[in-house]
């Protein structure tokens, strides 16, 4: 049980570094069949410090292979978070050979925003001499985490940067900068009340590609929905703060995707002491979509469809009545340690239901429509057919829960306690379906 990637608490289908510390995902970019994942990394230490950009590659965002460190700290700076893009038109002039240049924008803390680039398709990287956004005027040492993306309407590259200093009202904010050549940046405007590691994506409303909104994603799960004309962001609803209180942080999305999907991954902070060679993991990659619910826009997250390729055996139960005070699994059965579980049942407003997981019970309290675990609680309503649905992803030291088409997301870092399976209820409930898929390890 102790060989590399098969340690007792090693996540089997969530990313963690071979060894030691990781925090934010960085520079997520797809190029020629390969997804690149960079991450804040201390390769020799279990804690945070002078940061490197670790690097891993994958063809499906699940099976990762660790590569050489991409960016190192220097005597002058630590290499903090940022983003990656492919410069297909070579506006930077950095192309040297067949491949399009891949540019990684990062915060060279405390000196300013720099970039490191690859001319061999993401195998090796070198730091560009000039600091592209130096600390001067109102850009200061703590301003950080550049996210760069293409704005089709104005045909410009945009950088959104966490700034502690631009804001007139002294609130944490995100500043917008624009550029034609990815090397010189011009200040445009700012949005207030947003903290660290910005990301920004344009999403179709209810899947309609001709009708989109821009979403600003903040590191703590807050998000803003609105319009962006390449200069200024105008929000159309209040900051959504519903996703706080969980150990997921500093999410980023992949750029230059090979399809229309918008896929996000986040740091899953491990506060539990595991005594393992690695420290921390990342969440499962999720596809982001935008749902209009009345006059409200809601961000939905769902595990990428590739996850289903890891499904092996299944425990499956359908259309049974769960009698009050009994266990759905009549005989004592043990669950897999890494699984993907989908649950659907008819809503009974009187029932309080208990679903065992290796990390403790999830409780559904029908009369207040609350899904609870570990003192955390989220609203979960039945759908229009009166069915309540949710999905659990359990790994060796983490648990994620998805519900209401992805509006509900909860995650936990924990040590498993039991593998006994049980689903019980205080009142009779019609179970439509329970499917528990064993998931293959991505490290084998």
Report, in Å, the least distance between residue 51 CB and ligand FRU: 5
Q: Distance between CA atoms of 414 and 159, rounded to whole angstroms?
A: 36
Report, in Å, the least distance between residue 249 CB and ligand FRU: 6
Structure token digits, residue 166: 């631009």
**Total Cβ atoms within 10 A of residue 106:** 29
In the complex with ligand FRU, the residue whose CB is nearer, 25 or 285, is: 25
The footprint of ligand FRU on residues 368-397 (CB under 6 A) is: none
Among positive and negative, which fits the CA dihedral 37, 40, 43, 45? negative
Core vs surface per residue 29-40: b (16+ CB within 10 A) or e: bbbeeebbbbbb
Report, in Å, the least distance between residue 135 CB and ligand FRU: 15
In the complex with ligand FRU, the residue whose CB is nearer, 196 or 361, is: 196
Q: Would you state the torsion angle of the CA atoms of residues 160, 248, 313, 62, taken in this order, to the nearest 10 degrees?
A: 40
Q: Distance between CA atoms of 406 and 108, rounded to whole angstroms?
A: 35
Report, in Å, the least distance between residue 82 CB and ligand FRU: 8
Determine, following the binding rule CB under 6 A, whether residue 145 of this chain makes contact with ligand FRU. yes
Judge contact between 40 and 19, C-beta under 8 A: no
In the complex with ligand FRU, the residue whose CB is nearer, 33 or 47, is: 47
Q: Is residue 366 classed as helix, strand or coil in its secondary structure?
A: helix
Structure token digits, residue 368: 């207040």
The footprint of ligand FRU on residues 152-211 (CB under 6 A) is: 196-197
Residue 217 phi, psi dihedral angles, 5° rounding: -105, 120
In the complex with ligand FRU, the residue whose CB is nearer, 145 or 188, is: 145
Contacting ligand FRU (CB under 6 A), which of 144, 151, 391, 414?
144
The footprint of ligand FRU on residues 409-438 (CB under 6 A) is: none
Return the active site residues: 24
In the complex with ligand FRU, the residue whose CB is nearer, 109 or 391, is: 109
| Residue at shortest CB range from ligand FRU | 80
The footprint of ligand FRU on residues 202-261 (CB under 6 A) is: 250
The footprint of ligand FRU on residues 6-65 (CB under 6 A) is: 23-24, 40, 51
Q: Distance between CA atoms of 305 and 299, rounded to whole angstroms?
A: 18
In the complex with ligand FRU, the residue whose CB is nearer, 127 or 250, is: 250
Q: Distance between CA atoms of 54 and 73, rounded to whole angstroms?
A: 11
Sequence-distant (6+) residues with CB within 8 A of 158 are 148, 149, 150, 151, 176, 177, 178, 179, 188, 200, 230
Q: How many residues contact ligand FRU, by CB under 6 A? A: 12
Which residues contribute to the site for ligand FRU (CB under 6 A)?
Answer: 23-24, 40, 51, 80-81, 107, 144-145, 196-197, 250
């Amino acid at each position: 049980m102790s060989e590399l990637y098969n340690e007792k608490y090693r996540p089997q289908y969530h990313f963690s570094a071979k060894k030691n510390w990781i925090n934010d995902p960085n520079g997520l970019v797809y190029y020629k069949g390969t997804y690149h994942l960079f991450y804040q990394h201390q390769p020799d230490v279990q804690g945070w410090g002078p940061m490197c950009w670790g690097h891993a590659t994958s063809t499906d965002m699940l099976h990762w292979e660790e590569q050489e460190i991409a960016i190192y700290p220097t005597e002058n700076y630590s290499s903090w978070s940022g983003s990656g893009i492919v410069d297909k038109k070579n506006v930077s002039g950095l192309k040297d050979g067949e491949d399009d240049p891949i540019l990684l924008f990062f915060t060279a803390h405390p000196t300013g925003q720099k970039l490191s680039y690859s001319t061999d398709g993401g195998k090796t990287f070198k730091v560009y001499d000039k600091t592209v956004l130096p600390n001067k005027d109102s850009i200061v040492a703590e301003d950080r985490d550049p996210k760069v993306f293409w704005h089709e309407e104005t045909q410009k590259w945009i950088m959104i940067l966490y700034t502690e200093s631009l804001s007139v009202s002294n609130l944490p904010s995100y500043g917008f900068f624009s550029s034609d050549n990815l090397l010189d940046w011009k200040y445009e405007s700012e949005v207030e009340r947003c903290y660290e590691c910005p990301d920004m994506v344009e999403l179709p409303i209810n899947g309609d590609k001709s009708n989109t909104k821009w979403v600003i994603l903040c590191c703590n799960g807050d998000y803003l929905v609105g319009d962006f004309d390449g200069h200024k962001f105008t929000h159309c609803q209040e900051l959504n703060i519903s996703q706080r209180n969980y150990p997921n942080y500093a999410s980023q999305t992949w750029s230059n995707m090979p399809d229309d999907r918008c896929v996000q991954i986040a740091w899953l902070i491990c506060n539990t002491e595991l005594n393992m060679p690695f420290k921390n993991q990342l969440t499962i990659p999720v596809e982001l979509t935008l749902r209009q619910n009345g006059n409200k826009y809601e961000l939905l997250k769902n595990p990428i469809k590739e996850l289903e390729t890891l499904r092996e055996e299944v425990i499956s139960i359908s259309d049974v009545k769960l009698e009050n005070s009994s266990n759905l699994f009549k005989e004592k059965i043990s669950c897999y340690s890494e699984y993907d579980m989908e649950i659907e049942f008819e809503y009974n407003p009187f029932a309080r239901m208990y679903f065992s997981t290796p990390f403790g019970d999830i409780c559904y309290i029908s009369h207040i429509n609350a899904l609870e675990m570990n003192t955390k609680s989220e609203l979960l309503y039945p759908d229009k057919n009166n069915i309540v649905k949710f999905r659990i992803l359990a790994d060796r030291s983490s648990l994620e829960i998805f519900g209401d088409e992805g509006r509900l997301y909860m995650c936990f870092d924990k040590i498993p306690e039991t593998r006994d399976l049980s689903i019980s209820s205080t009142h009779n409930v019609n179970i439509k379906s329970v499917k528990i898929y064993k998931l293959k390890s991505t490290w084998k």
